[in-house]
Amino acid sequence: MIELKNVSKTYQMGDITVQALRDVSLKIEQGEYVAIIGPSGSGKSTLMHILGFLDRPDTGAYTVFGEDVAKLKDDKLAILRSNVAGFVFQQFYLLPRTKAIENVELPLIYAGKKELRALAHEKLVQVELSERENHTPNELSGGQQQRVAIARALVNDPLVIFADEPTGNLDSKSKEEIMSILEGLNKKGKTIVMVTHEKEMAERAKRIITVFDGKIVSDVKKTDGLFLHKGERKLDAVQLFARKKTNFWSALFMDHLPQALKSIFSHKMRSALSMLGILIGVGAVIAMLALGKGAQQSMEARLASLGSNLLMLTPGSSNVGGVSLGAGAVTRFTLADAEALSKAGGSIKRVSPTVSGRAQVVFENKNWQTRVQSTGVDYAELHAANPEFGRFFTAEEVKSRAKVVVVGTTVVSNLFGNSDPVGRTIKINRINFSIIGVLPQKGSNGFQDQDDTMVIPVTTGMYRLLGKVYVDSIDVEAVSLDVMADAAEEIKQVIIKTHELKDDSSFQIRNMEDIQNMMKSVTNTMSMLLGSVAVISLLVGGIGIMNIMLVSVTERTKEIGLRKAIGAQEKDIMMQFLIEAIVMTVSGGIIGVIFGELISFIMAKLTGWPVIVTTLSIVVSTIFSATIGLIFGIFPARKAAKLNPIEALRFE
């Protein structure tokens, strides 16, 4: 059935070359019960590893039913292990935190077989352990664990059972139970190849091969050595390397995904820590983009409320890309300029000068720091600020520098609570003002509360409160959109004439489109900045996933060796680890979306800032997290897939 001819194997251990096998020739027929014995370091385990397709000879030939398998690639050897060999190891190599029946099912998964549970149960019945099939390895005795390992070796109905020191870690009673099972299998025609250092166990075999210093020094067959049967199985080349083909998606969802999920849930803390980085990253993306989108929409709404036919006159030269287009001169504006513009007529409809500052407001035992805007009577119409309660100040009150004020709702809530403030007297920078109205509520604008403000007559602000002699800006409303260019030209000519200027290089006239473009640029820059921070968080989370997956590969080296020993190909191992990474990142991404929405809601409640969570940000974040899992999961998955099964099983 299987035959070795002049097989040699060497290992390099540092600077030392170890000759594990030297020109070994051996033939094992179907139905034999072979024990391989020898002292430690004699080469007996290396011989069994080559016989069991776990390793390759350096020289010589190895045939199975006449087919040369000595130089096969890893995936072909994996199929051969699945079809021909069943392994029983001294260390059991059962997956921890995994039920006995699930351990027995493992070879069936890689063989592409169905009805896993029924076949696994059948083999546990065969080794008299079906009543413990739902117990994990730590709930089983050593002998019971080895019986699970034997059931796992039998589940694919292999031609040969390779047993490496199967009784090495067991008490005398368990040893007897295991040997009885192996002998029973041999009597039914199963080929047994056992490595042992216990002579009394070897004596129970029908053929004893002694290995010393890498050579077979003795090969003794007993007279009743063969239990051949008329119905013995013989496999041709096609059958040796046959593996049931499965649909990719079927294998993904029926085989690889359940295995990945079992691994994730069996290491809950490690998996949770892996997901944490992605969770925070996705949550940050959602919250940051929601904040940026909210600020942008709020800004657009505010600009829209001002009207599209508004022009703003400000001192200083224009800037393009941070470069001043003027020679450094700045024209300061006064109330006389506003008066001149209002009398210009033509395309100009309304004019409102503005002087801004901050002031301390006191009412009884309460005080509040807020923004003060000193404006003209047309401010309310220009800025959609007609009072909800009370009234706006009049031209006469502007002329007389009246100490009257229209307050925003934030100021009202902080100083008066739910009380009506109209008619009350407050102190602004220790000066008494009478409240004549309450501004309409506008909400937050990005990082600024639009309701945290007060409006007073421009003359009052300049000469009584803020001590300024120049206005900060002048808002001008054109008669209609069609005459915006004419209005801008009229403003320019009035200012040039009033200030006796050569040109308009020392002041700026901006229309709403310019202002909107500028604000969009600001909000887009802010969104990009916030998004960049969030993306960096995601990348850091991805690196964290890769690090933990690499640690996981190291921790699970023996598990990987076991899976490859029972028939897993490189693609199976790679797919499992890759799916684990993707499942963790996608799960972290989904939880991160919920976390991001929660953070956005809390930010909106605590700060009053507008936040808008878009479907696009959710979809992009989820897809990006899956991509992160794919990218950062490939390296650990490839590392796991390339492990040599024997080196992996020996890993300490």
The yes-or-no verdict on residue 305 having pLDDT over 70 is: no
**Whether the Cβ atoms of residue 559 and residue 266 lie closer than 8 Å to each other:** no
CA 4 to chain centre: 50
Confidence grade of residue 321 (pLDDT, cut at 50, 70, 90): very low
234 pLDDT tier (thresholds 50, 70, 90) = low
- pLDDT number for residue 320: 44
Report how far residue 150's alpha carbon sits from residue 167's, in angstroms, rounded to the nearest whole number. 12
The arithmetic mean of pLDDT across residues 280-309, rounded, is 73
Q: Looking at the domain assignment, is residue 317 inside a domain?
A: no
Specify the range with the lowest mean pLDDT, choosing from 333-347, 383-397, 521-535.
Answer: 521-535
Cα gap 14→9, rounded to integer Å:
16
* Residues linked to residue 215 through DSSP beta bridges, in sequence order: 212
Show the beta-strand stretches assigned E in 259-347: 310-315, 319-320, 323-324
Do 8 and 92 lie in one domain? The reply is yes
CB 541 within 8 A of CB 628: yes
Claim to verify: residue 444 and residue 578 sit in the same structural domain:
no
Q: What is the pLDDT of residue 210?
A: 94
Range with the poorest average pLDDT among 171-175, 294-298, 404-408: 294-298
Tokens at 225, concatenated: 């050595």
Q: Does 132 lie in the same domain as 39?
A: yes
Quick one: 208 and 265 in the same domain? no
CATH number of the structural domain spanning residue 163: 3.40.50.300
Kindly indicate the confidence band of residue 304, based on its pLDDT and cuts at 50, 70 and 90.
low
- Work out the pLDDT band at 375, boundaries 50, 70, 90: very high
Mean pLDDT over each residue of the chain, to the nearest integer:
84
Tens digit of pLDDT for each residue in 579-636?
888 888 888 888 988 888 888 888 777 766 677 887 877 887 788 778 887 888 888 8
Q: What are the tens digits of pLDDT across the range 187-231?
A: 888 999 999 988 899 999 999 999 999 999 999 988 654 544 444
pLDDT at 415 over 90: yes
Query: Who wins on pLDDT, 527 or 218?
Result: 218
**Band of pLDDT at residue 288, cut at 50, 70 and 90:** confident
Tell me: do 338 and 466 sit in the same domain: yes
pLDDT digits (tens, 9 = 90+) for 235-255: 555 566 565 555 555 656 666
β pairing state of 453-457 and 366-375 = parallel
Q: Are residues 268 and 401 in the same domain?
A: no
Same domain as 591, residue 463: no
Q: Is residue 310 part of a domain?
A: no
Domain count, the chain: 3
Report how far apart, in Å, the C-alpha atoms of 172 and of each of 175, 176, 201, 413 are.
Answer: 5, 6, 11, 85
pLDDT in tens, 543-586: 877 888 788 788 888 888 898 988 888 888 888 888 888 888 88
- Does 304 reside within a domain? no
Residues 119 and 222 in one domain: yes
Cα–Cα dist 211/139, whole Å: 37
Identify the three-state secondary structure at position 605: helix
Same domain, 436 and 583: no
159 has a pLDDT exceeding 70: yes
Provide the residue type at 197 as one letter. Answer: H
At residue 554, the pLDDT reads 84
The mean pLDDT of 315-322, rounded to a whole number, is 58
CA neighbor of 11 nearest in space, from 52, 43, 53: 43
Domain of 612 in residue numbering reads as 260-299+521-650
Q: Which two tokens stand for residue 206?
A: 């029908």
Percentage of the chain beyond pLDDT 90 is 36
What pLDDT was estimated at residue 620? Answer: 79
Together in a domain, 488 and 634 = no
Q: What is the pLDDT of residue 516?
A: 66
Name the more confident of 370 and 384: 370
Residue 72 lies in a domain: yes
